[in-house]
Every structure is written in C-alpha cells, then in structure tokens.
Structure 1
Amino acid sequence: MRFVGPDRTRRSVILGKISKRSATDLAGLIDRLNAANIAGTVPSDEDARRVAALPEVMHGRFAAAGLIAPRRAAKPATLGPFVADYVDRHPGKHLTVYHLRNTGGLLVEYFGAERPLRSITRGDADRFAAWLATSGRNGNRKPATVGRYLGRAKQFFHAAERDELIDAGRNPFKDQKTATKADKSRQRFITPEEARRVLAACPDAEWRLIFALARYGGLRVPSELAPLTWDDIHWPDPSAADPKDQAGWMFVRSPKTEHHEDKESRVVPLFGDLLPYLEEAYHVARPGTVAVVPRAAPRNGRKANLGTQMNRIIERAGLVPWPKTFTNLRASRATEIARDFPAHLESEWIGHDAKTAREHYLQVTGADFATAAG
C-alpha cells in the first residue's frame, strides 16, 4: 500500500499475503491515519482501537512508515515491586495489610523478587502450595493456614490481571483450593455449668463481663468488645411501648464484617444470662468511663491479647482450656440461639449468615441427645 506522507514523500506499507477484503480494510485505515497526520489531528477512537489491536509485526510496519508511533517495549512486571506496591496502596485495615505483607513476603521468598509475573504458571502455583505446607516455622502448616495464604496469593494475581500485567484468565492460583472445611475436632460446646465455674474463678467484674459477653452475648473478642461503650447499652425499660426497649438491647459494631453491606453493626438482646454481669460492671466502673471493657482496647496498634489470661482463669476453675477460647464461647451461644429461636434470629443476633453458622459455629451437644431420648 503506497501513500504520500505529510512531508510529500512516497511511503509504503507491505501487508503480506492477506485477502483482498482485509487489504481494502487496512488501506482505509492507512488513508485515515495519514489524513490525520497531515491535518495534525488525532485518529478517531475507533481507529485508535484498531491500531492498538494490530499484531506486533503489522504495528511495526505502520510505525516504520510514519503512520503511528512505535510501541514501547514494556519491561515485564516483576513480583517484588508489584507485591510492595499492592500492599502499600491497599485500603484494608492494619491486620489485613499485615497478612497481605506476610503472604507477599512468602511469594517473593519462593519465586524471587525479579521473577516476571507472566512467567509464573499453574504448575508453579502447585509447587508453591506444596512448599507452603512444609516450610512453616514449627514444621508443617495446617491445611487451613495454607488455604489462607493461597487465597491471598490469588488476590495478588487477580489484581495483576486487572492492571493488565498478566493476561486475563491467566491467574496461576485460580485453581488452588483456598477454603477448607471447619476442623470439627477443635469445636467445643461450653456447658452452662462450665460457664458458671469459669465466672466464679474470674478475678473481677470486668473479666466476668468479658467472659459473659462472649458466652452469653455471642460477641467477637476482642474486636467487638473494644468499640462497645456504655451509650451502646440500652437498659431494660418496663415503661417503654416497644417490647424491644422493654427487654433491653445493645448496639454492637462489627469491624470484621463492616466491609459487607448492612453488616457494620447489629442489635443484640440483653439476654437474661448476660444482664447481671453488665449491671455489675456498670456499677463498679469509674465515673466518666466510656468503654464497657477497657481491657479490650488496642495497645500500640495491636489487638488486645485477652486469650492468655482467660486460659489461666479457665485453669483456675479446674477446667482444661479448650481450643479457640473465645470462638467456642461465641459458638456455644450461637448453638443455643439456633436451638431456641428461628434461624434468622441466630444470624441477626450473632452476626453471620446461615452458611457460616452451619459450617463453623453450630454444634451437636450432649443435651441434644438427651432431649432426643426423652
């Protein structure tokens, strides 16, 4: 295809062996690009898209003829800088960013900081998963832990897809199993008698309330205890018109689920088992105290560690500390609510969906067998 350029010199583009229809189509594109160059204007959006989609060889021929600017040879994105940039600009909370940085560090440790993103294959992802399982600080990592790391690795490469640093659909971790079933062996129902023993062993009103908010209120510890204020406690008011106000309730903020629509908070009843411990803590609180549980406040940017002391209290009560100390207290309350109330109330009051409750919280207790046997 021959044409006269803006400098009035004859130029040509060799199209190669193509159909007449394709040649005519490209001739029209060449004519419009040349006209835009002569007039000093930019090509239309449609022609710009056509140019961007030209194969590398044809694009080079157009550029050699002065019709378009040559493509810049893009330096392939490498793992280390990409991971660092993604973590730095991530809008998540401190703990989320911490976990992403940890996973990114493992990716860089295994693949190397200079490894091009496009060169990491699904087979590489398989080998990384196997390495994760055996490279933990204390030996083998549990499948659930490996799954969480792989989920974050998948998140990194999903972002690389969106930034077009790797081809769409080429996330090497997309086939990795990132979710594992709940480990039922770590579930434990804390009976009312065990709860009474632990409460009797607590050293003060605040520790009794910490335990009661988890076991009888179903709150997450410490994330939902930390923002709880006395203004969030709506004490029972027998003279109120609304039965909810008559019974009393508390407003619970949930940092863990606030990124989900309408899940940033919930209203929880002042259960009869819980109310006495709230009243006790309120009466002994220092004047002007705002926080319901001051011990739950973060320190030096880190969540409060209440589990260690709670396990000591459990031992003082003559019991053996159970796995996932506060999670199993919350799960015990969820199990009781699911037994005594409709399913939608368990989800509403505990703050998770029915699927999560079924897979991770609700338990079969010895009392269920006794009830079934009459």
Structure 2
Amino acid sequence: TRPNMWRILFVAPDGSRKTLRLGKMAKRSAEAIQRHVDALLAAKIAGQPMPRETAVWLDGIGDRLRARLAGVGLVGSKPRLTVDQYLAEWLVSKRLEGLKSSTLATLKHDIADAEQWFAGRLLSTVTGEDVEQFVAALRKRLSPATLAKRVQRVRQAFQDACERNLLERNPFGRIRVSSGNPAERRVYVPVQQVERVIAVCPNVHWKLLFVLSRYAGLRIPSEALLLKWGDVDWERGRMTVPSPKTERQGKPYRVIPLFPSVKPYLDQAWEITPEGEEFIFPEAWRRRSQGPAGWVNANFRTVALKILRKAEIEPWPRLWQNLRSSCESDLAATFPIATVTKWLGNSPSVALRHYVDPTDEAFERAKNWVPGTPKKRAKSGALGAQNSAQQERALICTSRKD
C-alpha cells in the first residue's frame, strides 16, 4: 500500500504460501531480487544447484536480506563462526594458496593471541572497542615492532572475512599501531668483531655462514642453505643466490659479486665437500629446516649465541638481520644504492628505512668534507685486485676440472 515498499509472494515446494518482505527500495532493485528468488525456487523444486549468477549474487548480499531469504526457506542460514574457528579456516585457506610452511608457521604464531583473546566469540560480534582492548593488552608485553606485525596479520585475516561477506566491516580497520623507529633495533656490527667470531667458529661451515651474512648480505638460514656449488661462477666472479622470500614476487634469485672477503671461506668449504655433493652446506642442516616450521627449525641462533660467548662478545639484537644490514651499510658507502639493493634483494626505500645506517667511518670522513668537493672513487687498484682474485679463482677452477 505504501510507495516503494515491496514484497514477493510465492508458493514453496511443500505447497505453503510464503511472503518475502523486501522493504523500501527502487522497483528495479525489487525486480532484480525477484529474478533470483525465482531461480532459487526453481532450483529447490528441481533438486538442482542454483545458477552460478544467483550463487554469485547470494554471496554478495548483506546479512539482513540473507536472513529474510533464510526465513522463507530459500537459502540456509549463514554460518555463525567464532573467531578461533574462522582463523583456523583462514590458515587452511592460506596453505591452499601455496604459502610455504615457514610463512604459515609465522602466520599461525602472529594470530595466536587473537585466537586466545577472542576464543568462543562470534566473528560477527567483534567491535572496534573490543579490538582496542585487545591491542591495549598486547601493548603491555610486546615491542612496538612485534605489536604492529601481529595487528597487521589479524587485520588482514579480518579483511579477508569482509571480502567473503562474513563481516560487513573490519573491526581492525581503524586501528593503527606504529612499528616504532627501525633504527632503534639496528646495530652496526664492525668487521673486527665479526673476525673474532669467525676465529672461534667450530668448523668451516659455521665460518662461512657468518661470512655470507656479514660480507655478502645473505638471509640466514634460507638463502645460505639453498646455495649450490653450481651457483658459484668462479671465472666471472659472481654468485647466484636463491631467494625464497622474494620468489612470490617473481624474483626467485639474484646475482651478487663473489666478494674477496667471501672467496677464501668458499675455498675451504670446497676442499672438504664430498665428491658429487650438490649443496654447499651439509645435508643435515637442510633436513632440520624441512620440518613443519620451515627455516625456524634450523635453530642457528642458539649455536651462534654460544659462539659469540666463546669469542667474549656481547650478542647484538636481531643477530642475523643486523649482520646483513651492516653489510648493506658498508656497500652503500661505496656503491650506488640502486646497485646495492639489487645485490641484497630489497628496495631502496626498504634499505634506507630498515638496513642502511651511516658508519663511524662515514662520520670521520665527513669531518674533512667541503661542499663541491668531488667524491673520491675507489682507485683502480681495487678493481685490479678484484680482477687478480678472479684470475686466481679461474686457475683454481681449472685445476679442479683437471
């Protein structure tokens, strides 16, 4: 009787008369709903699946209209998932997307707090106020960087729920958590300290692990453990580094120089490598990294800390990351940042925010800097030394082939 107030009358498969009240809307919208109602009714009568177009439409409608369709028996009720049930399903969906086991282990760890905090709570009932209380509780025991990462992961999970029409809006959407200043967790590790550590390493492979991290900027353990002898181009003085972290971005590897600081330790590793061995590092190390948690199982940090104590060196934070960032800082002092980031496998913006810091040597040089003074380039002798090292490597390589 009232204008623009619509309802749909139909006879259900059991013969009963039903009324679907749509409320106030444009005639065109009501007619579109009626077409899908006819399709749902026909599918029920015939015992067949609903048409794909109707299924897509049904997946995109709001909770209110879906509840009315369920009320007249045209569709089933929308599943009422709890937060912990949904997050468990979300992890399964990520596994089906092809994420690596190490990434899945990280995701599971990052959302564990939300699973526990909201356990048994219906997903659709979580509010922005609930989220603020959750974040406030985490802030009391987590560093800003860890807090920001975990909130980011849970926000992503809830956003996926919105895209699946399980939620109308993301309660984490307006929550912003600062990760703090990355420089506060960054430490420059001097070469002198690294040499002391290398001197007390228990074997050649541990020495090479520290060397590849500090002098070549490899990610430990993922990139180091995937290195093969075939990745080392002795004659051209280059090395191909597998990069699992950037593989999904279409960058499964990168090519870096075979730095003079790295070559002697590769030599030593080659000398003890069994005939026919493909990988540079021992098979036992790689087997440990193939468990459910991926690279975390390698457990290099525990042994590394023992080595540092033996060298009587106070452990620095973010052990392997700061070795890598120290390498990038050194390289950035000599080579263009675009070149350095190609070698290290990140972007200039990431490098400047998370990796590169001015070294003490840079501050010392700045004391004598005058505006307009041309920047001194590395002398040709450095290039000559590199060429000489490459020729030496070529001779060694030839002898190995013989």
Aligned length: 344
Task: Answer whether contact 2:62 2:165 (CA < 8 A) is retained.
Answer: no
Instruction: Give the SS at the match of 1:203.
Output: coil
Flag the 1:298–1:182 CA change in 2: closer, same or farther, 3 A. Answer: farther
Instruction: Give the SS at the match of 1:268.
Output: strand
Match of 1:153 in 2: 154
Q: In 1, Cα distance between the equivalents of 2:307 and 2:213?
A: 15
Deviation at 1:12, TM superposition (A): 10
Encode CA deviations 1:108-144: one digit per residue, 9 max, x unaligned.
Answer: 321222x22111111111111112233xxxxx22121
Match of 2:142 in 1: 141
Greater mean alpha carbon deviation, residues 299-308 or residues 203-212: 299-308
Q: In 2, Cα distance between the equivalents of 1:98 and 1:218?
A: 24
Task: Answer whether contact 2:205 2:281 (CA < 8 A) is retained.
Answer: yes
Flag the 1:53–1:125 CA change in 2: closer, same or farther, 3 A. Answer: closer
Give the alignment's TM-score, normalised by structure 1: 0.77
The structure that is helix-richer by fraction is: 2
Task: Answer whether contact 2:207 2:265 (CA < 8 A) is retained.
Answer: yes
Match of 2:386 in 1: none
1:209 aligns with 2:215: no
Deviation at 1:197, TM superposition (A): 2.3
Task: Answer whether contact 1:79 1:117 (CA < 8 A) is retained.
Answer: yes
Deviation at 1:320, TM superposition (A): 2.0
Task: Answer whether contact 1:297 1:303 (CA < 8 A) is retained.
Answer: no
Amino acid at match of 2:142: R
Match of 1:241 in 2: none
Deviation at 1:190, TM superposition (A): 2.0
Matches within 5 A, 1:1-374: 22=27, 70-91=74-95, 92-113=99-120, 115-134=121-140, 140-167=141-168, 170-178=169-177, 180-235=179-234, 237=235, 245=236, 248-261=237-250, 263-294=251-282, 296-299=285-288, 301=291, 302-374=296-368
Flag the 1:306–1:175 CA change in 2: closer, same or farther, 3 A. Answer: same
Deviation at 1:266, TM superposition (A): 0.6
Q: Which runs of 5+ in 2 are unaligned?
A: 1-6, 369-402
Task: Answer whether contact 1:15 1:23 (CA < 8 A) is retained.
Answer: no
Task: Answer whether contact 1:118 1:165 (CA < 8 A) is retained.
Answer: yes
Instruction: Give the SS at the match of 1:180.
Output: coil
Q: Which runs of 5+ in 1 are unaligned?
A: 135-139, 238-244
Task: Answer whether contact 2:82 2:119 (CA < 8 A) is retained.
Answer: no
Q: In 2, Cα distance between the equivalents of 1:107 and 1:54?
A: 26
Q: In 2, Cα distance between the equivalents of 1:190 and 1:296?
A: 25
Match of 1:137 in 2: none
Instruction: Give the SS at the match of 1:90.
Output: helix
Deviation at 1:95, TM superposition (A): 2.5
How high is the sequence identity, in percent, across the aligned residues? 28
Flag the 1:186–1:54 CA change in 2: closer, same or farther, 3 A. Answer: closer
Flag the 1:25–1:126 CA change in 2: closer, same or farther, 3 A. Answer: closer
Deviation at 1:172, TM superposition (A): 0.9
Deviation at 1:173, TM superposition (A): 1.0
Q: In 2, Cα distance between the equivalents of 1:312 and 1:6?
A: 74
Q: In 1, Cα distance between the equivalents of 2:279 and 2:209?
A: 12
Amino acid at match of 1:120: V
Q: In 2, Cα distance between the equivalents of 1:256 and 1:2?
A: 54
Flag the 1:320–1:106 CA change in 2: closer, same or farther, 3 A. Answer: closer
Q: In 2, Cα distance between the equivalents of 1:2 and 1:320?
A: 76
Encode CA deviations 1:326-372: one digit per residue, 9 max, x unaligned.
Answer: 21111111011111111111110011111111111101211011111
Give the alignment's TM-score, normalised by structure 2: 0.73
Q: In 2, Cα distance between the equivalents of 1:197 and 1:129?
A: 42
Flag the 1:101–1:266 CA change in 2: closer, same or farther, 3 A. Answer: same
